[in-house]
Amino acid sequence: MTVTAIEHRIHAQRHAPKRVQGGLLDPKMLWQALPDALRKLDPRTLWRNPVMFIVELGAVWSTILTALNPSWFAWLIVVWLWLTVVFANLAEAVAEGRGKAQADSLRRTRTATVARRLIESGVEEEVAASLLREGDIVVVEAGQTIPGDGDVIEGIASVDESAITGESAPVIRESGGDRSAVTGGTTVLSDRLVVRITQRQGESFIDRMIALVEGANRQKTPNEIALNILLASLTIIFVFAVATLQPLAIYSKANNPGVPDSLALNGDGISGIAMVALLVCLIPTTIGALLSAIGIAGMDRLVQRNVLAMSGRAVEAAGDVNTLLLDKTGTITLGNRQAAAFVPLPGVSAETLADAAQLASLADETPEGRSIVVFAKQHFGLRARTSGELDDAHWVEFSATTRMSGVDIGEHRVRKGAASAVVEWVRSEGGTVPTQLGDLVDSISAAGGTPLVVAHVVTDDTDPKAAEVLGVIHLKDVVKQGMRERFDEMRRMGIRTVMITGDNPLTAKAIADEAGVDDFLAEATPEDKMALIRKEQAGGKLVAMTGDGTNDAPALAQADVGVAMNTGTSAAKEAGNMVDLDSDPTKLIEIVEIGKQLLITRGALTTFSIANDIAKYFAIIPALFVSLFPGLDLLNVMRLHSPQSAILSAVIFNAIVIVALIPLALRGVRYTPGGASKLLSRNLYVYGLGGIIAPFVGIKLIDLIVQLFPGM
């Protein structure tokens, strides 16, 4: 590694995005968010939140009434009404501020990069990275910064992506595979890459990351819009309900002239201050204040796990997922299948099979191919071939099309690969397939292994021979530890898991049974994945899947939640609605849990908000009408000190509870897997019953404090 490369790496690590530290109600964070909260008092901004917009109108009206007829009680009500609006804005500002802190870190990673662009003649020209266009070809060498998002079309190199992922360990990027995508702003640490730019102007990955974590492009999800409509409807209902109390109060007072005037009820009916206080305490201000913060915090929790959601809709959909499609290799299993045994056919020695298997695997650069070479060397003492032995060799590299690899050395031809492919080759070379081969292949597959058949042709001019099957290589794939428990959790959540693999059905079934998935799709092609997703969606289910290759792009686009790996191709990242910066396929399980946590948090706080209004009825209604209807004193179960202290205590509690619930809105309600009925019962018990009890306790405590002041 060059000195320049090391310096670039140190610089990137120093400026990599840091996790936002501090508590959820860190005073420094609250202070930083306060200016944004005050700016949100602008009615042109606040009208998007109907509930808090009504509260602000009430605060303005109360301010005017108090200025015309001032009193300590009226001014205290006005102050707490304005604080209610500020606290609501503060919840959203704190949630946005956490994202802006991460966006500022990302902005610091962007520098004025000079690109080495290749023109048609193959000559390089230096241009500013900002002038690159989609389709341009650039060269990046060790120590240089990749000028834009693109795909590697030539070369292999170690790349430092700490500026994006926060991880200091370098990754390998190479052409022609599913690890060809590179991101602008990352640094090449070794070797040389030729990159085709795929980004459009102003739409780089870092630009999109900044916009997403800032929340600038956050659109309300369908459930959030529906809940906003419900809250607006409840607010309108309570506006009319409170308005009808005024003529009722005037009529009742006129028919009871002996009742003395009070601060809340006089000859002109209910005072304007008392009406505003009643309205603010009755409408669902708590959830109205926290709803936006809950949505922003849901996306922020994904960002903390290095997952970027392209929209809030994707996060919400993750919480409603019914079917989870998971690749076997690298997700359910460790991914690198290893040679475990050489099983020769009758009449063939193990040494002969091992020699042929090693020779056929020398051109196979896959992890499986390399493991066969190592296994033959370790267990059979096979030496490495000298260059002289292989001078005339014609290598047959492994490909997904042929599903074989091998070598031709003169008249000696060796092949190793999938059973069906090698059997077809043997027959094409005039050979016959032993009946024992089928049983051997099936037994390895049934045990969860992957069988690779080895065959060869040895001939000369005087003794021509047909192809001969030598035996089978047993590749073993290991299921990751704890996967069965994770899938059991998914099942308790009501999610059906489906394993997708290119293995044959017997191997797929063995792995599926060991891992504990509900179903599997064997020998899957891109078309098969699409068909499965559409079938599930046609049944009214939401589907989530992961992918990293160009062939996964159609399925990622079709899925309701498509999680693309950051190491994957640009096509996959464009098709998905989430990108996992860590490129960990098992992250999909966490994403589903975060989505469910978002939905549960929203439901829990909505339940709490509506439930705690009940206590406010018992505080304010008796205070307003007890002088007119003495029987209402029975509703004063909290035995509040006076009508003034009752109204003021309810308004103060209504404001304070918003601040108290900000940490819960940002952190989310703890999610534990379980059925819908169990979750509903817990929600009603904890947040329904708790929402009724908490205001009784809170308002009473505030009343005890308020009555200490004269005139209350």
In the predicted structure, residue 510 carries a pLDDT above the cut 60: yes
Residue 84: the pLDDT is 93
Q: Is 151 annotated as a binding residue?
A: no
Task: Enter the tokens of residue 28.
Answer: 């420094």
Q: How far apart (Å, rounded) are the C-alpha atoms in residues 364 and 405?
A: 6
- Can you spell out the DSSP letters for 308-321? EES-HHHHHHHHT-
Taken as a whole, the chain contains a residue count of 712
Residue 655: the pLDDT is 92
* Cβ(457)–Cβ(492) below 8 Å: no
Q: Is 399 annotated as a binding residue?
A: yes
Q: Is 550 annotated as a binding residue?
A: no
Q: How far apart (Å, rounded) are the C-alpha atoms in residues 556 and 545?
A: 7
Q: Place 258 in a pLDDT band, splitting at 50, 70 and 90.
A: low
Q: Is 405 annotated as a binding residue?
A: yes
pLDDT tens profile 542-551: 898 887 777 7
Query: Which residue in the list 327, 355, 503, 560 is annotated as catalytic?
Result: 327
In the predicted structure, residue 206 carries a pLDDT above the cut 80: no
Which range, of 79-93, 210-224, 480-494, 523-537, averages the lowest pLDDT?
A: 210-224
Q: Is 404 annotated as a binding residue?
A: yes
Q: How many CA atoms lie within 13 A of 438 on its CB side?
A: 4
- pTM to 2 decimals? 0.65
pLDDT tens profile 653-676: 999 999 889 888 888 888 776 666
Task: Enter the tokens of residue 669.
Answer: 């309600």
- Helix extents (H) in 496-586: 505-515, 526-538, 553-558, 570-575
In the predicted structure, residue 336 carries a pLDDT above the cut 70: no
Residue 102: the pLDDT is 60
Task: Enter the tokens of residue 476.
Answer: 């073993």
In the predicted structure, residue 74 carries a pLDDT above the cut 70: yes
In the predicted structure, residue 65 carries a pLDDT above the cut 60: yes
Q: Between these two residues, 471 and 255, which has the higher pLDDT value?
A: 471
Domain boundaries in the chain? 46-70+219-301+598-707, 112-204, 307-332+480-581, 334-479
Mean pLDDT for the stretch of residues 503-514 = 82
Residue 564: the pLDDT is 84
In the chain, % of residues over pLDDT 70: 80
Q: Place 1 in a pLDDT band, splitting at 50, 70 and 90.
A: very low
Residue 82: the pLDDT is 94
Q: How far apart (Å, rounded) are the C-alpha atoms in residues 104 and 390?
A: 57
Q: Between these two residues, 365 and 83, which has the higher pLDDT value?
A: 83
323-327 and 496-500 as β-strands: parallel, antiparallel, unpaired?
parallel
Q: Is 606 annotated as a binding residue?
A: no
Q: State the virtual CA torsion across 229, 231, 233, 235 in degrees, nearest 10.
A: -150
Edge-first strand order for the sheet with 338-344 is 338-344, 468-476, 449-457, 412-418, 404-409, 393-396
In the predicted structure, residue 330 carries a pLDDT above the cut 50: yes
Q: How far apart (Å, rounded) are the C-alpha atoms in residues 471 and 422?
A: 11
Q: Is 461 annotated as a binding residue?
A: no
Q: State the distance between the two ends of the chain, measured CA to CA, in whole angstroms.
A: 76
- Can you spell out the DSSP letters for 189-200? -SSEEEEEE-PP
Q: Between these two residues, 19 and 77, which has the higher pLDDT value?
A: 77
Q: Between these two residues, 450 and 601, which has the higher pLDDT value?
A: 601
Q: Between these two residues, 24 and 94, which has the higher pLDDT value?
A: 94
In the predicted structure, residue 620 carries a pLDDT above the cut 70: yes
Dihedral sign from CA coordinates of 326, 328, 334, 335: negative
Which of the four CATH numbers 3.40.50.1010, 3.40.1110.10, 3.90.1150.10, 3.40.47.10 does domain 334-479 have? Answer: 3.40.1110.10
pLDDT tens profile 128-141: 877 788 888 888 88
Q: How far apart (Å, rounded) are the C-alpha atoms in residues 509 and 702?
A: 64
Q: Give whole-number Cα distances, 294 to 30, 49, 236, 667, 668, in Å.
A: 17, 14, 23, 9, 8
In the predicted structure, residue 63 carries a pLDDT above the cut 90: yes
Q: What is the 3-state secondary structure (H, E, C) of 578-627?
A: EEECCCCCCHHHHHHHHHHHHHHHHHHHHHHHHHHHHHHHHHHHHHHHCC
pLDDT tens profile 424-477: 888 888 888 888 888 888 888 877 778 899 998 877 655 567 788 889 998 887
**What is the SS3 assignment for 307?**
strand
| The CATH fold of domain 307-332+480-581 | Rossmann fold (3.40.50)
In the predicted structure, residue 72 carries a pLDDT above the cut 90: no
Residue 271: the pLDDT is 74
In the chain, % of residues over pLDDT 90: 5
Q: Is 398 annotated as a binding residue?
A: yes
Q: Place 3 in a pLDDT band, splitting at 50, 70 and 90.
A: very low
Dihedral sign from CA coordinates of 97, 99, 102, 103: negative
Residue 616: the pLDDT is 78
Mean pLDDT for the stretch of residues 288-309 = 81
Q: State the virtual CA torsion across 598, 602, 604, 607 in degrees, nearest 10.
A: -170
Q: Place 251 in a pLDDT band, splitting at 50, 70 and 90.
A: low
In the predicted structure, residue 79 carries a pLDDT above the cut 90: yes
Nearest to 703 by CA among 693, 711, 712, 694: 712
Average pLDDT value for the chain: 78
Interacting residues of 658 by C-beta distance below 8 A, sequence separation 6+: 84, 87, 88, 91, 285, 286, 289, 290
pLDDT tens profile 471-508: 999 888 777 777 888 888 888 778 888 988 877 787 78
Task: Enter the tokens of residue 34.
Answer: 């306060």
Q: Is 391 annotated as a binding residue?
A: no
Q: Is 560 annotated as a binding residue?
A: no
Q: Give CA angle at 696 (695, 700), nearest 5°.
A: 105
pLDDT tens profile 145-158: 888 888 888 888 88
Task: Calculate the CA 105 to chain-centre distance.
Answer: 20
463 is catalytic: no
In the predicted structure, residue 358 carries a pLDDT above the cut 60: yes
Which of the four CATH numbers 3.40.50.460, 2.60.40.10, 2.70.150.10, 2.40.50.100 does domain 112-204 have? Answer: 2.70.150.10
* Cβ(137)–Cβ(118) below 8 Å: yes
Q: How far apart (Å, rounded) are the C-alpha atoms in residues 643 and 265?
A: 10
Q: Place 211 in a pLDDT band, splitting at 50, 70 and 90.
A: low
In the predicted structure, residue 190 carries a pLDDT above the cut 60: yes
Residue 78: the pLDDT is 92
Q: Is 548 annotated as a binding residue?
A: yes
Mean pLDDT for the stretch of residues 505-527 = 84
